[in-house]
Structure 1
Amino acid sequence: MSEPRWLDAAQQRDWRSFVDGSLRLTEVMERDLKSRHGLSMSEYEILVRLSEAPERRLRMAELAEHASQSRSRLSHTCSRLESKGLVFRGGCPKDKRGVYAHLTDEGFAALDRAARDHVETVRDFFIDLIDPADLAAVGRAFRAVAERIDAAGRDASC
């Protein structure tokens, strides 16, 4: 077995800063959405994805992929959103096995209200703190991370 490729001091510092900062930022966003709008981050993400989809609907399998949730977790989250009247699930006319999640008008209105506050939280605790060139670098870096994870998932499923 080969020796692990240990991080040097600067890499370790930056890695720990990323882990700590991203966890704390997620906690701030989660707390803000929950206290102001009664939504979790995962619920908010589902509403966003549905709002951006044609006819404000997506197949559950596609929504799970876009929202980075397992199908069972997505089902539980959609059940909570359904109980709030923000989403409803319905069958797929072309495929009797398929199920769509639909964003209701009430769900769209709730998302609109939440998004107005959420963008300010994102700006206050992330966007406005970072130099534009550094922000572009963060974007490039995490697109590369997402692509690597997607590729690893494809390789594992073959």
Structure 2
Amino acid sequence: MSKKLSAATARWLNPDEERAWRAFRRMMIAVQTGTARDLTAAGLSEPDYEVLSTLSERPDHTSTLREQATKMGWSRSRLSRHATRMEARGLMRRAPDPADGRSCFLILTDHGLDTLENAAPAHVASVRRHFIDRLAPDDLTALEHIALKLEGFED
């Protein structure tokens, strides 16, 4: 049972923690805004690119809706609605999952693979411009270490 926090019992951030938190948020927003804008120029959203790139790496370019939703941190219903829009654009298609009547397979189409292959060079250039090339190798190592801690893979 969780206790409701009040202003009196909250563990407030000290000035150093507050600066670090705000810097982290600004960094995430700046990088995400830049790469999202660049993907839009290629006709894709960030979620489109995530679905397409993940499917391209899977055997037979196929994943279950459940696996993809988990990877993206989305609910199945949210991904299902997004997949409907991607399907209408011919980027992917769905097929029933015989092992789970409540789920389906997401399958990358040839058009989806072509779209991904056309967008990938510009996307990697965008990631470099907005993120990688602005950091030293030691920064990247430290950031990876921090990410692993925050993802719960390292204590």
TM-score normalised by the shorter chain: which range applies?
0.7 to 0.9
1:59 matched to 2:90: no
Gap runs ≥5 in structure 1: 149-158
Using the size of structure 1 for normalisation, the TM-score is: 0.85
1:39 corresponds to which residue?
Answer: 44
Gap runs ≥5 in structure 2: none
Higher relative contact order (CA 8 A, sep 6+): 2
Q: Note if contact 2:35-2:130 (Cα within 8 Å) is conserved in structure 1.
A: no
Which amino acid is the alignment partner of residue 13 of structure 2? L
Which amino acid is the alignment partner of residue 135 of structure 2? I
- How far off its partner does 1:10 sit? 2.2
2:82 corresponds to which residue?
Answer: 77
**How many pairs align?**
147
CA offsets per residue over residues 83-136 of structure 1, 9 Å max, x none? 111100001244444410000111111111111101111101111111111111
Counterpart CA distance in 1 for 2:63 and 2:15 is 45
> Is the deviation greater in 116-125 or in 23-32?
23-32
1:128 matched to 2:121: no
Structure that is richer in helix per residue: 1
Identity %: 37
Counterpart CA distance in 2 for 1:4 and 1:77 is 38
Counterpart CA distance in 2 for 1:111 and 1:147 is 30
1:155 corresponds to which residue?
Answer: none
Counterpart CA distance in 1 for 2:74 and 2:103 is 18
Counterpart CA distance in 1 for 2:67 and 2:99 is 16
